[in-house]
Amino acid sequence: MCPKAKHLAAPAKEPGQGAGLWAEDTVRGEGLEHYAMSRSKEWYTPARYLQLIRALMGGIDLDPASCSVAQRTVQATRYFTADDNGLAHPWPGRVFLNPPYGRGVGGLSNQGCWSHRLIEQYEQGITTQAVLLVTAATSEKWFQPLWAYPVCFTDHRIAFVDAHGHKVRGNTKGAAFVYMGNEKERFAELFSAVGTPVFAAGLWAKQRVAVG
């Protein structure tokens, strides 16, 4: 379980992707530990994937873990930066989330905490649709709740880009796009262009019916 949002810093303590690549620039404020974003080592989600996301949801209302440079491509109506601490705010409407990676306060996984927050917002009806981009870390405990939703595992390593739009090297892990919403078939249709969409919960339900 993640601590309360107000005790969590938006960026990661260790390098990871998020809206960009977060570094361990530690600062102190009001007795809480915060992590500032390193402007020199940021990775951004390429336009190719964001085009699919906008085609699926019809637009992006909120990017809760972002920055102004990332928004050149994301083009969300509203976004939260590291200074805003997106975990402390509601996430209404259509959300795209590429959370900061690494470990946050208390050594907890940032991907886990931000994913948990997204699930919470969606299940409460605050978030109406969402696409989550995380590492395909299927053995991690934080990933397990994501099996309840359609997931597309990329058939390649994403070539993230820098602030100038150039591809950057260093991504050594596969990725997973997780969809929350009512357009499951549309998600599978669109994202089959970049990987293999699966819906474990749906498959399990069909198997139970077949067996029964």
Query: Which tens digits make up the pLDDT trace of 42-66?
Result: 678 889 999 999 999 999 999 999 9
Task: Tell me the pLDDT tens digit for each residue of 165-185.
Answer: 777 766 667 899 999 999 999
Top-confidence residue, 34 or 191: 191
Whole-structure pTM value = 0.78
Q: Where does the pLDDT of residue 30 fall: very low under 50, low under 70, confident under 90, or very high at 90 and above? A: very low
**pLDDT tens profile 103-122:** 776 677 889 999 999 999 99
State what percent of residues in the chain have pLDDT above 90: 56
**3-state helix/strand/coil string of the chain:** CCCCHHHCCCCCCCCCCCCCCCCCEEEEECCEEEEECCCCCCCECCHHHHHHHHHHHCCCCEECCCCCCCHHHHCCCEECCCCCCHHHCCCCEEEEECCCCCECHHHCEHHHHHHHHHHHHHHCCCEEEEEEEEECCCCCHHHHHHHHCCEEEECCCCCCECCCCCECCCCCCCEEEEEECCCHHHHHHHHCCCEEEECHHHHHHHHHHHHC
